[in-house]
Amino acid sequence: MIHNGPMAEEGTLTSGTHTDVREPIGEEHPICRLRDVLDRVGDKWSVLIMDLLGSGPQRYSELHRSIDGISQRMLTLTLRSLERDGLVDRTVTPTSPPRVDYALTPVGATLSDQVAALIRWADDHREYVARSRGRYDTARDGTP
Amino acid sequence: MIHNGPMAEEGTLTSGTHTDVREPIGEEHPICRLRDVLDRVGDKWSVLIMDLLGSGPQRYSELHRSIDGISQRMLTLTLRSLERDGLVDRTVTPTSPPRVDYALTPVGATLSDQVAALIRWADDHREYVARSRGRYDTARDGTP
DNA sequence: CAGTATCCTTGGTGATACTG
DNA sequence: CAGTATCACCAAGGATACTG
């Protein structure tokens, strides 16, 4: 049985104590530990940012301009949680106007590599997926 | 500039014509093509299912029992889109009661491998992330 | 068993405005 | 420049009930 729900609330991870309120679930599948990364990789913006930072540090405004359609709110929020997870470093240069640079941490870089692999997969199988969808949909539309 | 919005609606992929209504954006970053996979990997259930199927075909009811907390609705929906993308095969044995087996397609297996790599990453860096969060949070709570 | 149909909630997201 | 704060929305997802 894979437990998928929020098995570890912020407090559980934060507190330092790993007191599991629920039954032990780690033995059967490592998936339950995956949630964090998945949520990281899953949301729209994290991956974009991880990729962008993969080619070097970027300023807040550079990221904002580079990522079409992201709001300041989401950019900040995403960067914050990336920083919180130890995946990106935030460097403030208290000039005026202030300057803030974001860069991958060493660990963040390794995740960035995984993301890159995923991107490559997506690229390699882009057409396959498109054709699969085409076939699936026409099969449903064609013979109703 | 990375375009992230829904650049290709279902219809665009489905129709077979790749008439891009928007400006050409593929040159700058391959990210825009990634959305499909990301959405696949990103949502709660697809990854769980891909992993489960990685160890062999499973019946609907097996998946349902194996994945704690998933509703029939979401299980069906997720399996359908996985099938639509050509990542899993659905085999109906029209006995009574009916029996339906799900298995990874060859291509689905390769994505499953990527997912497995991600899982490994998550496992390897689980503690690191937890401690990063701990430090980040106590830094905020400790000095308010 | 393996779904489909329906209703309803919630939180992730965008838009907007303000600030050190 | 690099954020923070607030509001408002709506689609993803859960709960429940029904069916071939």
Separation of alpha carbons A75 and A63, rounded Å: 8
Whether this prediction's pTM lies above 0.95 is answered by no
| pLDDT digits 0-9 by tens, B53-106 | 999 999 999 999 999 889 999 999 999 999 999 999 999 999 999 999 999 999
| Residue B96 C-alpha, separation from nearest chain A C-alpha, in angstroms | 24
CB A79 within 8 A of CB A109: no
Q: Is any atom of strand C within 7 angstroms of residue B6's beta carbon?
A: no
Other Cβ atoms within 10 Å of A113 Cβ, number:
15
Task: Quote the tokens at residue B1.
Answer: 């500039």
Dihedrals phi, psi of B7, to nearest 5 degrees: -75, -25
Closest nucleotide (C1' vs CA) to A42 is C12
Half-sphere exposure of residue B61: CA atoms within 13 angstroms, side-chain side: 4
Q: What are the distances in angstroms from CA A143 to CA A52, A140, B77?
A: 45, 6, 21
Residue of chain B whose Cα is closest to the Cα of A16: B134
Task: Please tell me the total number of residues recorded for chain A in this structure.
Answer: 144
* Model pLDDT, residue B42: 80
CB B101 within 8 A of CB A111: no
B34 to A122: CB separation less than 8 angstroms, yes or no: yes
Protein B24 CA to nucleic acid D20 C1', in Å? Answer: 48
Protein B37 CA to nucleic acid D12 C1', in Å? Answer: 17
Q: Which residues contact A8 (CB under 8 A, 6 or more apart)?
A: none
Q: What are residue A89's DSSP bridge partners?
A: A103
| pLDDT digits 0-9 by tens, A9-56 | 333 333 333 333 333 333 345 566 677 777 888 788 998 899 899 999
B85 touches chain A (CB under 8 A): yes
What is the 8-class DSSP label of residue B1? -
CB B74 within 8 A of CB B45: yes
CB A47 within 8 A of CB A121: no
Select from A2, A83, A137 the Cβ nearest to the Cβ of B48: A2
B121 to A131: CB separation less than 8 angstroms, yes or no: no
Coil, helix or strand at residue A125: coil
Q: Is any atom of strand C within 7 angstroms of residue A74's beta carbon?
A: yes
Least confident of A8-12, A31-35, A65-69, B31-35: A8-12
Q: What are residue B89's DSSP bridge partners?
A: B103
Separation of alpha carbons B59 and B90, rounded Å: 10
Protein B36 CA to nucleic acid D18 C1', in Å? Answer: 33
Select from A4, A126, A136 the Cβ nearest to the Cβ of B68: A4
